[in-house]
Every structure is written in structure tokens, then in C-alpha cells.
Structure 1
Amino acid sequence: MQLETKAIHAGRGVDPFTGAVTIPFHPSTTFERSADGGYPSGHEYIRDANPTRNAFETAMAALEGGHAAVAF
């Protein structure tokens, strides 16, 4: 896959809840908890992990040819 194609497509997908085809920006939010107190989405605190940063990290790893990336 060419670099330009990776830059456009890596880390992107259709949002399963809204159908959005672009990555939503999550500057600050709270996440839903299940009845047992857990976090079914895997996100607990916006500064630890959030969907926007996860997509960015996926894209950076693809562009750099790595397996993972960390953004902070």
C-alpha cells in the first residue's frame, strides 16, 4: 500500500454507533459503566485512552511501518 493510501485510510473505520465515516474528536467525555462497574468500551478516563487518540496511534504505526504507536 502506498504512503498516501495509508495516510488516508489507516486508523479509520465506520463508527458502529453513529455510522460516522470520519473520526469523531473526543476532547473530554465520561464513559458509560456497566452494572458491575466495569467499562465495556475499554475506555475509563479520557487522558489515559480515547477513541480519537487510538485512531491516531493506529495511523502513525501504519505510516511508520510499525506494529504500534504511542501518542501523548
Structure 2
Amino acid sequence: MSQFPFGGPRVNSRKRSSGWLVAVFLGALILVGANAHFVYVAVTSQPDCVPHLKSPAAEKIGEESPFRAAKSAC
């Protein structure tokens, strides 16, 4: 008969739960850090100006195209 009735030594449940807490904390920290980086890049970057295409049908009848930038910065 084995020394351990269920196949192995028993692990202290406090050690096991603290390991899970550390893993969850590190995962949350990585998630928050990545999202903070995305917000920083979105706020500090300015995309280059590009020419906007207008629909040929709207130009023929003299109307503005419905597909263009709402407020162009260029």
C-alpha cells in the first residue's frame, strides 16, 4: 500500500489558492497594461491625410458625395 492514499502528497490548499490569485492578478495586469497602451497610441497618433474618393454619379449632377470625411483636417 502506498504512503499517500490518493496517489500523491497533498498540497496545502492555501498555497494552491494563492497561486491562482497571483495568476489572475498577473493576467489582469497584462490586460490593463495592453489597453492603456492602445489608448495612449490612439490619443497621441495623427493619421496622414489621404485623398478621399467621391462617387462619380454625385459629381455628374453636382451634388456632394455621401461617402467622405465628416470634418477633414487637411
TM interval, shorter chain, is under 0.3
TM-score using structure 1 length: 0.25
Larger Rg belongs to = 2
TM-score using structure 2 length: 0.25
